[in-house]
Amino acid sequence: MTYDYSEKDIILALKKSGIRKNDLVFCHSDISLFGIPKCNISKKSVSSLFLRSFFKVLGSGGTLIIPTFTYSFPNKKIYDPTRSKNICGFLSSCLQKHRLGRMYLDPNLSCVVFGKLKKYFTTEVSSNAYDENSLFFKFYKLNGKICNFNLDAGSTFLHFLERKLSVKYRFDKVFFGKIKFNNTYKKISSTLFVKPKKLKKQTSFKKFTHYVTKTNVYKKASLGRGYVGVISSKNCQITLQKKIKKNQYFLFN
C-alpha cells in the first residue's frame, strides 16, 4: 500500500513548525487530511503513531494536551467521561482513554493530558473554564504552544484571552448539570464565556490566521497532504490584544 506520511515525517514537521524539547503543547486536529499513514490503519496504531511522534520531539520533559470537549451542560446532557460524545475529532477520541493520559474532567471543555505536567493540569478542575484556576490559565502562565493539524491558527485558547481582555460581546454564563464518576452522579455548576443569543455575528479565525501568518509568528510545515501550524500563547495574546483594541469584533466574520 502506498502512504502519504510516516513517523519520521511527523517528527520533521513538528520540528519545522517550531515544536521543541520540553515544550508544553495544546493540539487541535483533523488528521484525516494528512492522507494515509505508514502504519496499520487502525485507531490504536494511528493514534499511537502521533503520540509517539510528539514525545520523540518533546522528550520526557514535555507535556501534550488534547481537547476532548463535549459541551455536555449547554446541551443538557450528563457528563460521563467514558461515554459522553467527544466533538474534537478522530485523534482526540482515540487518545481520550489512552492508559498514559490523565483526564481534566471539565463537563464542557475536558482534555486528556500526557507527559511531565499531566498531574499539574488535571488534579483540580475549575468551575469556570477560563478563570485563574483553569487549565487554560495554567497553559497561558507557562507560555504553551498551540499546535494545530490541518486547521487555522485559531483555538479555544483565544476565548480564554477574550475573557482576559474583557471583551464586551461575551459574558460568563453558569450552566448546571450532573457529572458521572465511579458510578455515582454529582450535581455541579460550570461557567463558560459565551456570546448572547441576540448577537448574530459568527466567530471566525480567518483574520487572526491571516495576520499571524503575515507577521511570521505562526509557523507552518507540510505533512503528507496537509500541514502542521504552531503559534505560542504569548504571540496569541500580543496579536489579539493589539487587534481587539482597534476592532472589538476582530474575531468575527
Digit-coded pLDDT (tens) for 95-106: 999 999 999 999
The pLDDT assigned to 41 comes to 83
- Judge whether residue 211 has pLDDT over 90: yes
Give a yes or no: residue 173 inside a domain.
yes
The pLDDT assigned to 230 comes to 98
Phi, psi (5° rounding) for residue 198? -70, -15
Phi, psi (5° rounding) for residue 225? -90, 0
Residue range 15-33, pLDDT digits in tens: 999 999 999 999 999 999 9
Phi, psi (5° rounding) for residue 106? -80, 130
| Sign of the alpha-carbon dihedral angle for 214, 204, 163, 84 | negative
Give a yes or no: residue 147 inside a domain.
yes
Integer CA distances (angstroms), 167 to 132, 161, 170, 182, in order = 17, 9, 6, 39
Q: How far is the first Cα of the chain from the last one, in angstroms, to the nearest whole number?
A: 42
Confidence of residue 252 (pLDDT cuts 50, 70, 90): very high
Please give the order of strands across the beta sheet that includes 63-67. Answer: 102-104, 111-115, 63-67, 24-26, 145-149, 226-232, 219-223
Confidence of residue 182 (pLDDT cuts 50, 70, 90): confident
Give a yes or no: residue 80 inside a domain.
yes
Identify the three-state secondary structure at position 165.
Answer: coil
Which burial class, exposed, middle or buried, applies to 28 when counting CB atoms under 10 A from its CB (0-12, 13-18, 19+)?
Answer: buried
What is the count of structural domains for the chain?
A: 1
- Judge whether residue 153 has pLDDT over 90: yes
Give a yes or no: residue 58 inside a domain.
yes
Confidence of residue 40 (pLDDT cuts 50, 70, 90): confident
> For residue 230, which of 29, 8, 86, 1 has the smallest C-alpha distance?
29
Confidence of residue 47 (pLDDT cuts 50, 70, 90): very high
CA 41 to chain centre: 24
Give a yes or no: residue 61 inside a domain.
yes
Do residues 128 and 172 lie in contact, with contact meaning Cβ atoms separated by under 8 Å? Answer: yes
What average pLDDT is seen over the chain? 96
With a pLDDT cut of 90, the percent of the chain lying above it is 94
The pLDDT assigned to 243 comes to 97
Residue range 141-152, pLDDT digits in tens: 999 999 999 999
Give a yes or no: residue 252 inside a domain.
no
Q: Which residues contact 185 (CB under 8 A, 6 or more apart)?
A: 78, 178, 179
Task: Identify residue 227 by its one-letter amino acid code.
Answer: Y
- Judge whether residue 1 has pLDDT over 80: no
Give a yes or no: residue 2 inside a domain.
no
Find the mean pLDDT for residues 87-94.
Answer: 96
> For residue 206, which of 169, 170, 241, 158 has the smallest C-alpha distance?
158
| Residue-range definition of the domain harbouring residue 226 | 7-246
The pLDDT assigned to 200 comes to 87
Round to whole Å and give the CA distance between 249 and 202. 10
> For residue 138, which of 161, 155, 156, 120 has the smallest C-alpha distance?
120
The pLDDT assigned to 159 comes to 98
pLDDT higher at 189 or 197:
189
Give a yes or no: residue 251 inside a domain.
no
What single string gives the DSSP state of each residue in 200-243?
-PPB--HHHHHHHHHTT-SEEEEETTEEEEEEEHHHHHHHHHHH
All three cell numbers of 112, joined, read 486528556
